[in-house]
Amino acid sequence: MIHTCGRRHGFLGRVVAPLIERRRRLKQQIVSKGDTADRQQNALKWLLVTCFGYTGYRNARFGRIEAHEAICAWARELLLQTINLAQQQGWEVLHAIVDSIWIRDVQGRSLQEQYDSAMDLAQEVHALTGIPLEYEATYRCIAFLPSRVHSGGSLTKYWAYGENGMKVRGLELRQHSTCPWVRELQKQALQILADSDDLLDGIPSPRVQSSVQRFLLAEVKRLDTHQLLPRELIISQRISRKPTSNSSQTVAMLAYQRSQSLGFPIELASKVRFIVCPKDSRNPMQRVILAQECEHLGHPLRRIDLDYYRRLAVRAVWAVLGPFGWSEEDLLETSITRLDQWM
């Protein structure tokens, strides 16, 4: 049971209220993604996210854990009210988390009718909760990745494409540590789906999915035959703490140690950039090559860990085809064994 005082404006509320209002006004001034107003509102967004995170931090100097729990409780209640309202107006709620809701029409309305209904829903939610909703886009297809932990879908990993291009969250494409080859591989795999009009029940047909698999196999062959340049394989990882004698010998830690030994000191919280090589039990630091040693080479390296990069590639394409029932093992099969691929 969460008790919220309605008579006094709390400390945290007084702090964040002007930031929220300032961000709201900035978002109204955005002309294009990445312009000055967009960058400023994004900075305020992360400031607000940090404020929320610190309410749940045990050593926070302001607030208590109860404040964090109360915020979460109110957020759940507002989200449930929004979901209920959407369902009453003929929408199926596919996903709802924190600050967004994904809905699908179940009444057979035209795109214009769907848009008008979505705008009406936004106004009603605003009137009910006091929180303005903004229409983002209409997507032709959206896929939530299967969870690797439980049988449900992942809450924060999904991709979609539609009138405003691609939207990707939680995938390798969005992760700063991903090497350029894997990032481009996943981007192209998604683009194959987005560019195709070959649909079955509204989603890319098995033939289109198989073309993504063939693209993966072709790229893996390029890897196996040493056709990739060093700069395409460079991985970036942030070093948050210095390694100790008890530290795990991860590739990032080995890269940090190699960097120090070769005279390229790295400050904590900085990124170390490297290529992964086969393990060498006699000299663990041979497991990596630093970007400074090889990124300007105009020819491929032969001493790379092919299995390591192959797993990265398969994992990235599984994020594209996994929602359609593909397993990582399926992706490396060279023969067609699925009946639906012939249909």
- Spacing of C-alpha 13 from chain mean position: 30
| Residues 205-219: tens digit of each pLDDT | 999 999 999 999 999
pLDDT at residue 168 above 80?
yes
Pick the CATH number of 141-227+308-342 from 2.160.20, 1.10.287, 3.40.1000, 1.10.132: 1.10.132
3-state DSSP of 7-42 = CCCCHHHHHHHHHHHHHHHHHHCCCCCCCHHHHHHH
Mean per-residue pLDDT for 153-163? 87
Pick the residue with more confidence: 96 or 149? 96
For strands 100-105 and 288-290, give the pairing. unpaired
Percent of the chain with pLDDT over 70: 94
CB atoms within 10 A of CB 139: 17
Q: In the chain, what are the domain boundaries?
A: 1-63, 141-227+308-342, 235-294
The secondary structure of the chain in percent helix, strand, coil, rounded to multiples of 5, reads: 50, 15, 35
How is 146-208 classified by DSSP, letter by letter? Answer: EPSSSSSEEEEEEEEEETTEEEEESSGGG-TTS-HHHHHHHHHHHHHHHH---EETTEE-HHH
| d(C-alpha 341, C-alpha 245), whole Å | 52
| Residues 293-302: tens digit of each pLDDT | 987 788 888 8
Q: Residue 343: what pLDDT?
A: 52
pLDDT at residue 287 above 90?
yes
